[in-house]
A and B are shown apart, each in its own frame.
Chain A
Amino acid sequence: MQTVILVLVEVLIVIGLSRLVGLAFRWINQPLVIGEIVAGIMLGPSLFGLVAPGLASTLFPPETIPFLNVLSQVGLIFFMFLIGLELNPKYLSGNLEVAILTSHVSILVPFSLGTLLAVLLYPLVSNASVSFTAFALFLGAAMSITAFPVLARIITENNLQKTRLGTLALTCAAVDDVTAWCLLAVAIAVAHTGSFVKAIPTILYSLIYIGFMMTVGRIFLKRLANYYRRTGRLSQLVLALIYMGVVASALITELIGIHLIFGAFLLGAAMPKNAGLVRELAIKTEDFVLIFLLPVFFAYSGLRTEIGLLNKPELWALCLAVLAVAIIGKYVGTYVAARVSGIDKREASALGWLMNTRGLTELIVLNIGLSLGVISPLLFTMLVIMALVTTFMTSPLLELTYPKKLIKLDVVEQEPEEKETSTSGGEDFYNRPYGILVPVANPNSQKGLMELAVAIAINYRQPAVVYPLSLIELQEDYGFESTPQEADRVITQRRQQLEELISRLEPSEARSYMHPIVCTSSNVARETARIALLEQANLILVGWHRPAFSKNRLGGRVGQILTNAPVDVAVFIDRGQERLERLLVPYSANIHDDLAMILALRLLINRDTCRLQVLQVVAENQVRNELSYELHNVMEQLPQSVRDRIDIKIVEAIEPIQAVVAASEAVDLTIAGTSRAWGIERQTLGRYTDQLAIECRSSLLITRRHSQISSHITSILANDKLEIIN
């Protein structure tokens, strides 16, 4: 087969697999990048070459590897440019004194331990063509790395970017990143020349070039930014100039004798941080680099990773030693420095785990080391395992030492409305406010949903709170949108939209019950469920619109929330009726219909003008469905003024859905439980017909019960009784 065709087939496999494994890792709450690195390793001799050596050698023959190398180097150059571009001096604004101390100690300790480890490893896994100095420098540098880009995404994903811990970690990682790149540049220079003394000219040239870029280069780039400000758009000509600059800068650093990536990084770092320019440039560049080129780099790296080389217990012991030195060095260095700076134990510990994230940056360093011959394939494999483990462990260990529920208490700019919520946890059941969580996907079109939430929540007998929830879903690990700065901008924008929606709500008193929550998330359904538990919400009220151009049934995210949320869920399908006076509950005596009834009763209690029609559809000669015992008890306790407004109607019909559809003509809102009787499946993931959702003439509220229905009404009834006694 022609080499070019083979390379394209390889790229096809690489992109497909890296997306697939990346998504699997996202699903287990791990950064996408770990999945992509693992996908690369899977394609190499560690898995694919092991189980199907024949096929592996046919698909990845040696003659195609140099092509993959070229693609991956191009990818790396532009990726490093993006990292430099996103390295905003704003990250250096928080706790600078603590951050500089912590980041320096967090480099010095693992570097020292790495140097000592080199004494053990050099005679075992290196060879005489590599000088000990270069080996020790590389190992020290590899141990000291903190991957700023991965860390920044983990911080954004955990909504830590506004917390003291988040800002501190970002500052430390930014300082670490720059220091580690300098260290690596020295290591490369020494590896090239063989000794420190001989490397001095290279280091000098590098310093001169850095100075040039930060002065002359910056002046030129500032002009470019001014031009952008005037025109307001990034033309292809300007983009071409910038890309040429990236490649030229990369070539210069290569000629100096360090590495291509430094020039690209330097140009990115020197770019003026004009928000619009950075955003447009990043968005235009990142898609192709992140989707196409970076997975090729992971595959190229994976082809050089052979876990099979660790074929003796003593080698696994060495691998463990490498892992231990890396983790302990980084953790202890960070922890001690943070503690000395007055950070409390929990936060210092969380910072220690965060700084252990090595991810992709480590992989870049290791590949350079392997290509230079400074590290052997065996040590390369050990260090790749170390990079994977240290990145993989960050999220769970962070959650363990610094659970998400504590994050809210530590927000730098405490939001006033959140103080009240956090104190509600310890109060007893009756005094606890009735909470409704309302995921709002589109603040512009979901006023009806918010009004329904207000109607269900607010009465004058029981405290209530409505949490309009806006989750910003992060699509990609390295997408520009998931950088802390950009995430902050989007959060502020969404918060404004939510505030605007709240300000339009009637009656105006309702606005004081609103506690908006805006945060980032990588899995909207899961995050919604988590927040519902955290805020002890009684109900999740979610809106749904049937897409105009597809026959998509109730499914997707709404379906996932319905299936997974550990609280009662109601799905609102708004038909635009503004009134909420006439309610209909088709009742077929299942637990979800019980919830429908109880929500209807709550609406009756809350609004004196509301009337409820309960529709029981029976086939010919069939006995009518009795109310459940629980519901019957509730009905007994209702005040007469409420019972008077309930009309129970029994109709005989063969098709229950048609009877409900007909009855819905005359009402404002139909409330139905998820049951087959009404043509709505519990999961409603599109496998069955959600007939009522389509045919219902009024607005529709579909309920799925999870907990005791009494939680929605008992405290109101209890307060009523108290009033009567008094």
Chain B
Amino acid sequence: MSHFNLKSLTFYAVAISSVLLLFKVVTAYGESSLKAPLEIDSNYRLMLSEKLPICDKSGFLLLNLQQSGIYLNGLLVPDNSIKTSKVSKKSSLMGKIKNQQLNLSGTIQKHILCNTPNVPKQTNLIPVKLQIQLVKKGDLIGKINVSDNSKTIGLTAIPQKTKEKSEEPKNH
């Protein structure tokens, strides 16, 4: 057939080789020079060093993170409500990873922050800022700031093994 003549074959050979060469060069550069952010676990238990100034008592919080590269969306929930639906999640914190540090900010309802589920739903939203230093393994150290208060509170983020993660194996 005519498309297998020398001219066509040369063209295909040159075109495909060029693309493969380009791919080789780009991947060599990418593998050596481009650094993607660390993969971070999706759930953390946050232990605060002291109680939040707006709350009457101290408590634990759960941070559910969704990572897409450097972009993060987080959901803060009281410690006793881990069973949140993936679908219903409405991310309340947004942020990025910058210089191995995770920065999240947004607004959270007060009853979530203070873990007071029995109080009728309060609609007042509290501004929250979170900063956590990323390390490859182990617990993470960071700080939290609420209500634009100048006082920041230290925290330890303990990675949690989630049911969701184990349910979604690489089941392509």
Contacts and interface: CB of A to CB of B under 8 A. Distances in A.
A112 to B, nearest CB: 5
B85 interface: yes
B80 interface: no
Interface stretch (B43-51, B63-71, B125-133, B145-153): B63-71
A648 interface: no
Contacts of A53: 85, 87-90
Contacts of A129: 39
Interface residues of B, number: 44
Given A104-B12, A376-B69, A133 B172 contact: no
A315 interface: yes
A312 B95 CA distance: 10
A105 B14 CA distance: 12
B135 interface: no
Interface in B10-38: 11-12, 15-16, 19, 22-23, 26-27, 29-31, 34-38
Interface string A369-404: 001110011110000000000000000000000000
Interface stretch (A15-23, A42-50, A604-612): A42-50
A131 B35 CA distance: 10
B5 to A, nearest CB: 9
B164 A376 contact: no
B160 interface: no
A202 interface: no
A128 B37 contact: yes
A128 B34 CA distance: 10
Nearest to A371: B172
Q: Chain A interface residue count: which class? A: 35 or more
A425 interface: no
B37 A127 contact: yes
A50 B16 CA distance: 46
Contacts of A178: none
A376 B39 CA distance: 11
B56 interface: no
A258 B90 CA distance: 35
Interface string A56-72: 11001110011001000
Contacts of B123: none
Contacts of B164: 62
B19 A132 contact: no
Contacts of B12: 104
Contact of A373 (B2, B37, B170): B170
Interface in A524-579: none
B118 to A, nearest CB: 19
Contacts of A124: 69-71
Interface in B151-166: 164
A118 B145 CA distance: 36
Interface of A: 44-45, 48-50, 53-54, 56-57, 60-62, 65-66, 69, 96-97, 100-101, 104-105, 108, 111-112, 115-116, 118-119, 121-133, 135-136, 140, 188, 259-260, 303, 308-309, 311-312, 315, 367-368, 371-373, 376-379
Interface of B: 1-3, 8, 11-12, 15-16, 19, 22-23, 26-27, 29-31, 34-40, 66-71, 73, 84-91, 94, 164, 167, 170-172
6 contacts: A62-B86, A101-B8, A108-B19, A119-B26, A119-B29, A377-B68
